[in-house]
Structure formats: structure tokens, C-alpha cells
Amino acid sequence: MTGPDGIPPDTSAAISVRGLTKSFGDFVAVDGIDLDVPRGQVFGFLGPNGSGKTTTIRILTGTSAPGSGRALVLGEDVVAHPERVRPRIGYMSQKFALFEDLTVQENLRFYAGVYDLAPEVFAARRDYVLRMADLVGREDELTRNLSVGWRQRLALGAATIHEPDLLFLDEPTSGVDPVARRQFWDLLYELAGRGVTLFVTTHYMEEASHCHRLAFIYRGRIVAEGNPHEIRATLVTQRVYDVTVRDADLALAWLETAEGVVESYLSGAALHAVVDRAADAGAEALQARLAAAGFPDAQVEPVEPTIEDVFVNLVSRERDAEAGGRGG
């Protein structure tokens, strides 16, 4: 589901993109995407590895030119005038761009220099960032000695040293433990509360519910967009069941070929089975079928679809459509 064709980009949005394309040789990494990111929101850009998230961010930060399409960032055409956009945005790249051999404070000073901050402005911003990132007292520690969680917060501080209106975060929580991830999201909310627009990519589906709005990208195409509630509501023709069973691997193999089951996969500690509503006979019926198939201990409960359920479903629909011989 892409945005409406032919509607001009929205100059009041934080980001407004129309028909954006980027190829590497014959390979189309970004395939005609439309996006509108309202100001002051946390916008989640979700997709599996290799789906085109970083490529999109590089275009939106003026680092890489698109093959075609338009991209307005903070109302400016970022392709034609990247220099108007860059001072007003921050970018926390997938590999935190920190200097290992510099101290915490020196890293911040380096980024202040990139953005040409006056010394007294830097002093105030440094103090703010150190407090925000909980790095007070560690100013003179070497960056390479910090744990991943600290480095992540320092990278956030470096990316916001110049008080950008819009911040791009490319998989900022990858490789960080769940507790540090939670703390990091609290920092992001704090920034959003101050009016900063956040464009966050992640492949952790459970992080989707932290966002005001979401877009799913798959193989360079936007396959769904909306708030988390709307996204969940797109799964109207299916029901999702949670299956708890001892022999999960074998039960999964059975579910994968079971009639009426469109999709099945491991979700947390349990299995999720997505069943076509037309073929759905309820949890007890599925439980009875599992028992008859050799899984007498299986417990089946209907559950609300998660964002991940919707995503798996959308991706399998796309795959089916491609297998069905859709051109282009």
C-alpha cells in the first residue's frame, strides 16, 4: 500500500517523499516509495535486512542521490539543496560513528566542530547531552572502553549536539540488550517531547509499538503504512492463534502444511498459526486437529495479531504475488 500517486509532496511534513528510486547496477534497492512523516512524531521504518532502509536514509540525509523521485526534508528539496537540510538534521548511523581513541568529551567536541557550534553553545550542549546520556563523570573516558549501551547513548548525544529538528536513527538498538534498549527508547521519547521528529529504522518488530506511525519496507517497496492500530487492523481476513506445545519443531512442520493455516512461525516461546477466516473453525478445533496429529499436549488460544504477525503476513502476500508472475 503506497501513498496516493500524483499528490505533490507535503511541504509542511518533516519528510515527504514521492516515487523515490535507487538502483545499484541492475538491482533496484529502493523501488518507487512514497512517504509522509509528520513533524514531532516518532516514525518507525521497519523491514528485514537488505530491504532498503539504509539506502533510503542515505538519500534523505543528502548523502546519496536517488535515481528518480522527489524528497523534501524539513520542507527543502534534499536532492537539490542538501546543504540547506544538513545543519538541521542529525544522523546516527548503523555503525555508531564514534572515534574509539577519543574520549567522550572529545567525540562531542568533534561533532560540535562539524556543525560549527560556538564555544559557549558547545559548553551548554555538552552539559545537556552528558546529563541526558547519563555520562556525567565519564567525560574523560576513552570511547573504546565504554560498553555498547554507553556508546549508543554517546552516539545519540553526538548526533544531537547541534539540536537538530529531525533525527535519523539507523537501527540504533541493534546488538544492545533489552534493558539498554528500553532506556534508549526513553531517551528518544524525551527528544520527541521536545519537538524533535525521529525517523527510526529497526528490524526488531516489538519496537514498532513504540512508534506513532510506521511504514514497512520489503524489497524496496512500502508494503504497509499507518499507526500501530491501523497496521494491526489490516489483518482482517485472518485469525492468529498462539500454540503452546512441547515438540514445537515437529508441530511447526505439521502446521506449515495444515489446511487453512496460511502461515506459522515461532513467536517468542510459542508458535503462531495464522488461519484464513473462511477456513477457521476456532481454537478448540485446531487443538483437536493437533491432538489427532500427535500433539496431545498442544494448547491453542486466539490472540490479537502483533505487528510481527502483520508483517509476516504482508511479506508472504508479496512473495505470493511475485510467484504469481507479477511484472516489474
Decide: is 32 part of the binding site for ligand ADP (CB under 6 A): no
Q: What character string, x for contact with Mg ion (CB under 5 A) and - otherwise, covers 57-86?
A: ------------------------------
Query: Cα-flanking dihedrals φ and ψ of residue 230, to 5°?
Result: -60, -40
Complex with ligand ADP: residue 133 or 215, whichever CB lies closer: 215
Decide: is 54 part of the binding site for ligand ADP (CB under 6 A): yes
CA dist., res. 48 & res. 202, Å (int): 8
CA dist., res. 156 & res. 163, Å (int): 11
Decide: is 54 part of the binding site for Mg ion (CB under 5 A): yes
Closest separation between CB of residue 163 and ligand ADP, Å? 27
Applying CB under 6 A, which part among 51-59, 140-148, 287-295, 304-312 lies near ligand ADP?
51-59
Closest separation between CB of residue 220 and ligand ADP, Å? 7
- The single residue among 5, 49, 292, 325 that binds ligand ADP, judged by CB under 6 A, is 49
CA dist., res. 322 & res. 328, Å (int): 10
Closest separation between CB of residue 154 and ligand ADP, Å? 22
Residue 257 binds: one of ligand ADP, Mg ion, none (C-beta under 5 to 8 A by kind): none
CA dist., res. 46 & res. 215, Å (int): 6
Complex with Mg ion: residue 37 or 300, whichever CB lies closer: 37
Q: Which residues contact 285 (CB under 8 A, 6 or more apart)?
A: none
* CA dist list (Å): 76 to 8, 34, 67, 306, 310: 14, 16, 18, 36, 34
- The single residue among 18, 53, 239, 289 that binds ligand ADP, judged by CB under 6 A, is 53
The strand pair at 166-170 and 89-92 is best described as: parallel
Complex with ligand ADP: residue 49 or 257, whichever CB lies closer: 49
- The sheet carrying 299-303 orders its strands as 261-267, 270-276, 238-244, 299-303
Complex with Mg ion: residue 53 or 151, whichever CB lies closer: 53
CA dist., res. 162 & res. 116, Å (int): 9
